[in-house]
């Protein structure tokens, strides 16, 4: 029966995604001769892009482009070798900068956050441990957890940000398992809400065998001093914590990294993490851009860009509240999700926004629960205040908010996985 249900769910997902493809709202191709600002050309029309995760506006920075080009000139498009054998010295340059950003803690670069999870979690978790994952954690984390399940590891899923449920699991399991790993996002990629980091810290104090693995892909770069990320802006990295981050979003380059509080665990992941040995390297152009971005993050310029971004985030939250749009979160993050109803409603609203000159993200099942379809948009430091005001006034004109849905209600895991 389980296999049949999984097959039906996959058919549903494919059907829903195909409808969005046919409507021209997902898997679109950008046809600009050169990206220079916040506009993109889609199907012959220039749209203000509210779908970019380059939150600090570094994606088109000429300094990062020049650094990428210089790296290709030195090493070519790819240095084709496993990093277990040899890698270009730009890895060292990147590690040095990330170590500074993370306050001297151990750092391991990886090609993507997905590959970082697949390198770390199968190494960190043993059959003596229990994994507890927030149901709305990113799809890449659930993918890694599926690998753990396949190896016979013990896994429980808890409702989103439900610290009472987590406490109950910990109370019941603390004496049974050697370690309990709690997996959560720092900033959740669909709804833009955040992990209750302070409450998780208290649980770590209460339960000495609680370990926490955060995916802070959408919090790293724009939040905290030097862009250390949402999680580490609200707590300190300790020996029972691992934070995975993306260098391809706010950071403006590509790749990913693991920040690890325990140097011994870091060395174990580095030497035995499968995707860090058998996967491909980060390519020279990406490394060059990432090193240059690290310099910018460690300079005074970062705080200036951060201030510009916060001004835009605050404007979004103010206008969303004034217009009474139906949103699950008003957290101070660059991601906003506006409920409109079903997946079909989300497609319809996205097409309306494109007709009015805005590129936003349609979000339906399985990126969000079946009854929680909506429009997701992101703001960056490059957006003008006028474009933000126009976007939200247009959304308010056409949106028809459904009744409020309890975001913490129990639903199958496949209905909660973020897709971006």
Co-location of 393 and 371 in the same domain: yes
Co-location of 197 and 292 in the same domain: yes
Co-location of 399 and 267 in the same domain: no
Q: Could you tell me whether strands 180-185 and 130-134 are parallel, antiparallel, or unpaired per DSSP bridges?
A: parallel
Tell me, what's the pLDDT at 369? 74
Could you tell me if residue 9 is inside a domain? no
Tell me, what's the pLDDT at 416? 39
Could you tell me if residue 199 is inside a domain? yes
Tell me, what's the pLDDT at 8? 84
Could you tell me if residue 92 is inside a domain? yes
On whether the pTM is more than 0.75, the answer is yes
Could you tell me if residue 1 is inside a domain? no
Could you tell me if residue 420 is inside a domain? no
**Residue of 241, 291, 236 whose CA lies nearest to 266:** 241
Structure tokens at 344: 């079909």
Domain of 201, CATH number, reads 3.40.640.10
Q: How many domains are contained in the chain?
A: 2
263, 297, 331 — which closes off a domain? 297
Contacting residues for 43 by C-beta, under 8 A, at least 6 apart: 24, 28
HSE of 330, CA atoms in CB hemisphere, 13 A: 12
Q: Look at residue 122 and tell me whether its pLDDT is greater than 80.
A: yes
Co-location of 277 and 376 in the same domain: no
Give the H or E element holding residue 106.
strand 106-110
Co-location of 234 and 354 in the same domain: no
Would you put residue 401 in left (φ > 0), alpha (ψ -120 to 50) or beta?
Answer: beta
Could you tell me if residue 5 is inside a domain? no
Tell me, what's the pLDDT at 7? 86
- Per-residue model confidence as pLDDT tens digits over 332-383: 999 999 999 888 899 999 999 999 999 999 988 777 877 788 999 999 999 9
Co-location of 379 and 331 in the same domain: yes
Could you tell me if residue 7 is inside a domain? no
Secondary structure, 3-state, 16-38: HHHHHHHCCCCCCCECCCCCCCC
The residue segments making up the domain with residue 390 are 20-60+300-415
Residue 133 pairs with which residues in a beta bridge?
157, 183
Tell me the C-alpha distance between 116 and 110, whole Å. 6
Lowest-confidence pick of 128-137, 338-347, 409-418: 409-418
Co-location of 289 and 310 in the same domain: no
Tell me the C-alpha distance between 375 and 45, whole Å. 20
Could you tell me if residue 338 is inside a domain? yes
Co-location of 24 and 163 in the same domain: no
Q: Look at residue 412 and tell me whether its pLDDT is greater than 60.
A: no
Tell me, what's the pLDDT at 101? 98
Average pLDDT over the chain reads 92
Co-location of 361 and 386 in the same domain: yes
Domain of 313, CATH number, reads 3.90.1150.10
Co-location of 304 and 292 in the same domain: no
Tell me, what's the pLDDT at 418? 44
**Residue of 141, 11, 19 whose CA lies nearest to 413:** 141
297, 323, 354 — which closes off a domain? 297
Co-location of 319 and 404 in the same domain: yes
- Per-residue model confidence as pLDDT tens digits over 21-80: 999 999 999 999 998 889 999 999 999 999 999 999 999 999 999 999 999 999 999 999
Read off the pLDDT band of 409 (50, 70, 90).
very low
Tell me, what's the pLDDT at 2? 63
126 secondary structure, DSSP code: -
How distant, in Å, are the alpha carbons of 371, 377, 389 from that of 339? 9, 12, 18
Lowest-confidence pick of 154-158, 276-280, 376-380, 412-416: 412-416
Co-location of 44 and 80 in the same domain: no
Read off the pLDDT band of 400 (50, 70, 90).
low
Dihedral angle, C-alpha 275, 108, 138, 195, nearest 10 °: 160
297, 332, 348 — which closes off a domain? 297
Lowest-confidence pick of 85-89, 115-119, 313-317, 362-366: 362-366
């Amino acid at each position: 029966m389980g296999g049949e249900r999984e097959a039906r769910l996959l058919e549903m997902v494919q059907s829903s995604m195909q409808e969005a493809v046919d409507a021209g709202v997902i898997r679109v191709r950008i046809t600009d001769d050169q990206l220079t600002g916040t506009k993109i050309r889609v199907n012959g029309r220039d749209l203000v892009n509210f779908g970019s995760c380059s939150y600090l506006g570094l994606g088109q920075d000429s300094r990062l482009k020049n650094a990428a080009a210089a790296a290709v000139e030195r090493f070519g498009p790819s240095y084709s070798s496993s990093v277990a054998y040899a890698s270009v010295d730009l890895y060292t340059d990147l590690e040095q900068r990330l170590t500074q950003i993370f306050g001297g803690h151990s750092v391991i670069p990886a090609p993507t956050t997905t590959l970082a999870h697949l390198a770390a979690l199968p190494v960190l978790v043993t059959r003596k441990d229990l994994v507890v994952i927030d149901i709305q954690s990113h799809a890449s984390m659930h993918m890694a957890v599926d690998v753990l399940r396949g190896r016979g590891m013990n896994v429980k899923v808890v409702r989103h940000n439900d610290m009472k449920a987590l406490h109950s699991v910990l109370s019941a399991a603390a004496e049974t398992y050697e370690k309990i790993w709690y997996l959560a996002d720092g900033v959740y990629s669909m709804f833009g809400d955040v992990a209750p980091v302070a409450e998780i810290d208290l649980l770590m104090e209460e339960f000495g065998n609680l370990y926490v693995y955060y995916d802070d892909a959408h919090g790293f770069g724009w939040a905290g001093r030097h862009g250390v990320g949402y999680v580490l802006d609200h707590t300190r990295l300790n020996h029972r914590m691992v934070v995975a981050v993306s260098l391809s979003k706010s950071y403006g380059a590509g790749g990913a990294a693991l920040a690890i509080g325990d140097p011994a665990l870091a060395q174990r992941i580095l030497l035995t993490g499968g995707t860090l040995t058998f996967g491909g390297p980060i390519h020279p152009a990406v490394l060059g851009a990432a090193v240059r971005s690290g310099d910018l993050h460690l300079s005074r310029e970062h705080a200036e860009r951060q201030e510009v971004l916060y001004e835009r985030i605050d404007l979004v939250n103010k206008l969303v509240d004034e217009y009474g749009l139906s949103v699950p979160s008003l957290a101070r993050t660059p991601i906003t999700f506006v409920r409109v109803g079903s997946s079909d409603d989300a497609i319809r609203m996205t097409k309306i926004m494109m007709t009015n000159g805005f590129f936003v993200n349609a979000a339906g099942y399985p990126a969000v629960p079946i009854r929680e379809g909506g429009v997701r948009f992101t703001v960056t430091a490059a957006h003008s205040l006028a474009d933000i005001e126009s976007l939200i006034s247009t959304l308010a004109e056409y949106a028809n908010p459904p009744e409020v849905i309890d975001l913490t209600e129990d639903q199958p895991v496949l209905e909660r996985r973020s897709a971006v």
